[in-house]
Amino acid sequence: MVSSVTGDNLLDQPATLLPVEAEVLASLNRTPKADIAAVAWAHPTSSLAWAELADAAHAQGRTLESYAFARVGYHRGLDALRRAGWKGHGPVPWSHEPNRGVLRALFALRRASAEIGENDEVTRLTSFLMDADHTAISRIEAAQSAPVNPGSDPAPPTEAFVIRGEN
- Residue 8: CB partners within 8 Å, gap ≥ 6? 91, 134
C-alpha 114/C-alpha 42 separation (Å) is 29
Total number of domains constituting the chain? 1
Beta strands in the chain (DSSP E): none
Q: What's the number of CA atoms in the CB half-sphere (13 Å) around residue 148? A: 11
Question: Does residue 162 form part of some domain?
Answer: no
Report pLDDT for 10.
Answer: 52
37-51, pLDDT tens digit by residue?
Answer: 999 999 999 999 999
Q: What percent of the chain has pLDDT over 70?
A: 81
Question: Does residue 86 form part of some domain?
Answer: yes
pLDDT band at 3 (very low <50, low <70, confident <90, very high): very low
68-107, pLDDT tens digit by residue?
Answer: 999 999 999 999 999 999 999 999 999 999 999 999 999 9
Question: Does residue 159 form part of some domain?
Answer: no
Q: Which domain holds residue 89?
A: 22-144
Q: Is the pLDDT of residue 162 over 80?
A: no
CA 58 from chain centre, in angstroms, equals 14
Q: What is the mean pLDDT of the chain?
A: 87
Model pTM? 0.82
Quote the DSSP letter at residue 151. T
